[in-house]
Amino acid sequence: MNSYQYDWSVITNNMDVFIDGALKTLEISALALLFSIPIGIIIGLGRISRNKFLQVISTIYIELMRGIPLLVLLIWIFFVLGRFLNLGAYWSAIIGLALFSAAFIAEIVRAGVQAVPKGQMEAARSAGMTHVQAMRYVVLPQAFRKVLPPLASQFIILIKDSSLVSVVSATDLTLNAKNLVATTFRGLEIWTFVALIYLVMTLTLSLVIRTLEKRWLSREN
């Protein structure tokens, strides 16, 4: 029986490929988060709006995005929507991730707003503020402090989810790894190193998030 001969030089010889892929992964994830936050805020506020139409539309969006697998959504955007709008793989990937992530951010926002005591809204209204003013100046600032940690965690989830964009040929760490495996046939070494890169990125971000949370809490206290 032939034993597998490890050759880790494929990692050192192609380090630029891995670095470029990791940077592309972070770029796509960051842009997707940037676009998903305002969409998620709008959908989340619509979910708890007193307007029934906004409630229904927001609920449908959330359930639709959460019910469709991300892989299927990316493929549909690339081959259907992307064909009409000429988006290309890069923007199809970002839009798909953003729309998918926005549904989860909407639920984070909804939970954050509802976690603010109702007395805060009532006190603001009794002080002469309109509902919009009370939301803007009283409720939302308090909700922001509650949703900041899960929003940061959503970025970590996006980084892992972004590995699926390689299916639509968007350049990222996973696609670079696939191409490298196809030319070197060193799948075990390459995928092991790719897993390590994802682990380092997510653990580093988790550490940063925990540090920011501790500083935030210390300032509040």
Q: Which residues of the chain have pLDDT under 70?
A: 1-2, 216-221
> Residue 184: inside a domain, yes or no?
yes
Residue 162 DSSP class: G
Cα–Cα nearest to 198, from 206, 209, 208: 206
> Residue 7: inside a domain, yes or no?
no
Question: Are 171 and 90 in contact, with CB atoms under 8 Å apart?
Answer: yes
Domain total in the chain: 1
- CATH number for 140: 1.10.3720.10
Residue 168 DSSP class: G
Q: CA 5 to CA 24: how far, in whole Å?
A: 31
Looking at residue 137, its pLDDT comes to 76
Question: Are 75 and 167 in contact, with CB atoms under 8 Å apart?
Answer: yes
φ/ψ bin of 36: left (φ > 0), alpha (ψ from -120 to 50), beta (otherwise): alpha
Residue range of the domain that includes 120: 13-220
Token digits for 204?
A: 């580093």
> Residue 106: inside a domain, yes or no?
yes
> Residue written as tokens 């210390």?
218
> Residue 40: inside a domain, yes or no?
yes
Looking at residue 2, its pLDDT comes to 61
Looking at residue 141, its pLDDT comes to 79
Looking at residue 219, its pLDDT comes to 65
Looking at residue 153, its pLDDT comes to 85
> Residue 3: inside a domain, yes or no?
no
Looking at residue 1, its pLDDT comes to 47
> Residue 105: inside a domain, yes or no?
yes
39-50 pLDDT per residue, tens: 999 999 999 888
